[in-house]
Amino acid sequence: MSGRREWQDRNQEAMSAALTRLKALLRGEAPPPLPDMAESALAHLVEAFGLSSFERDILVLCAGMELDGDVPDLCARARGDTAKGGPNFALAFALLPEPHWSALVPEAPLRAWRLVELETGPLLTRARLRIDERVLHFLTGLQQMDDRLAMLLEKLPMPEALPPSLAQLAEQLARGWAAGPRGPETVLAQLCGQAANVRLVAAAAAAQLGLMAASLPVSRLPAGAAELEALLRLWERESVFSGYGVLLVDCEDEAPAGETAQHRDAALARLVERLGGPVILREQAPRRIATRPALVLDVPAPAPGERLALWQEALGAGAPEATELAALAAQFDLSPAAIKATAAEFNASPPPEPGALWRLCRQRLRGALDGLAQRIESRLGWEDLVLPPAQMEVLHSIAAQLRQRARVYEDWGFGAKSRRGLGLSALFHGPSGTGKTMAAEVLANELGLDLYHIDLSSIVSKYIGETEKNLRRVFDAAERNGAILLFDEADSLFGKRSEVKDSHDRYANIEVSYLLQRMEAYRGLAILTTNQRGAIDPAFLRRIRFAIAFPFPDQAQRARIWANIFPTAAPLEGLDWERLAQLRLAGGNIRNIALNAAFIAADRGEPVRMGHVRQAAKAEYEKLERRPAHSEEGTWV
Residue 125: give the domain boundaries. Answer: 3-139
**13 domain residue, yes or no:** yes
Mean pLDDT of 297-326: 89
Q: Are 410 and 472 in the same domain? A: yes
Mean pLDDT of the chain: 86
CATH number for 622: 1.10.8.60
Q: What is the model's pLDDT at position 502?
A: 45
For residue 332, the number of C-alpha atoms closer than 13 Å in the C-beta half-sphere is 28
Q: What is the model's pLDDT at position 184?
A: 63
DSSP code for 6: H
Q: What is the model's pLDDT at position 344?
A: 92
Q: Are 414 and 386 in the same domain? A: yes
CA distance 354 to 10: 60
Please, what sign has the CA dihedral across residues 343, 347, 348, 353? positive
**341 domain residue, yes or no:** yes
**391 domain residue, yes or no:** yes
User: pTM (2 decimals)?
Assistant: 0.80
CA distance 71 to 63: 9
Q: Are 202 and 282 in the same domain? A: yes
> In which band, very low, low, confident or very high, does the pLDDT at 506 lie, cut at 50, 70 and 90?
very low
Q: Is the per-residue pLDDT at 68 higher than 80?
A: yes
**152 domain residue, yes or no:** yes
Q: Is the per-residue pLDDT at 150 higher than 50?
A: yes
Q: Is the per-residue pLDDT at 495 higher than 80?
A: no
CATH number for 497: 3.40.50.300
Q: Are 285 and 329 in the same domain? A: no
Instruction: Quote the number of domains for the chain.
Output: 5
Q: Are 400 and 293 in the same domain? A: no
Q: Are 120 and 193 in the same domain? A: no
Q: What is the model's pLDDT at position 456?
A: 67
Q: Which of 466 and 87 is assigned the larger pLDDT?
A: 87
Q: Are 539 and 562 in the same domain? A: no
Which of 311-315, 369-373, 459-463, 514-518 holds the top average pLDDT?
311-315
pLDDT in tens, 163-221: 999 999 999 999 988 886 666 667 889 999 888 999 999 999 999 989 999 999 998 88
pLDDT in tens, 582-616: 999 999 999 999 999 999 999 999 999 999 999 99
Q: Is the per-residue pLDDT at 256 higher than 70?
A: no
List phi, psi (to 5°) of 44: -65, -40
Q: Is the per-residue pLDDT at 403 higher than 50?
A: yes
- Which residues share a beta bridge with 190? 281, 296
Last residue of a domain, one of 549, 575, 593: 549
Q: Is the per-residue pLDDT at 500 higher than 60?
A: no
Q: What is the model's pLDDT at position 581?
A: 92
**363 domain residue, yes or no:** no
Q: What is the model's pLDDT at position 289?
A: 80
**359 domain residue, yes or no:** no
The beta-strand segments (E) located in 169-217 are: 181-184, 188-193, 212-217
Q: What is the model's pLDDT at position 507?
A: 46
Q: Are 187 and 310 in the same domain? A: no
Last residue of a domain, one of 503, 523, 549: 549
Q: Are 386 and 525 in the same domain? A: yes
CA distance 161 to 180: 27
Q: Which of 164 and 463 is assigned the larger pLDDT?
A: 164
Q: Are 203 and 91 in the same domain? A: no
Mean pLDDT of 352-358: 86
The mean-pLDDT minimum among 220-229, 339-348, 412-421, 578-587 falls in 412-421
Total number of residues shown for the chain: 637
Q: Are 520 and 404 in the same domain? A: yes
Q: What is the model's pLDDT at position 122?
A: 63
Q: Are 415 and 534 in the same domain? A: yes
**580 domain residue, yes or no:** yes
**371 domain residue, yes or no:** no
Last residue of a domain, one of 78, 113, 139: 139
pLDDT in tens, 123-144: 778 888 999 999 999 999 988 8
The closest alpha carbon to 231, from 210, 214, 207, belongs to 214
Mean pLDDT of 242-256: 81
Give the β-pairing of 212-217 and 154-156. antiparallel
pLDDT in tens, 539-562: 677 778 899 999 999 999 999 999
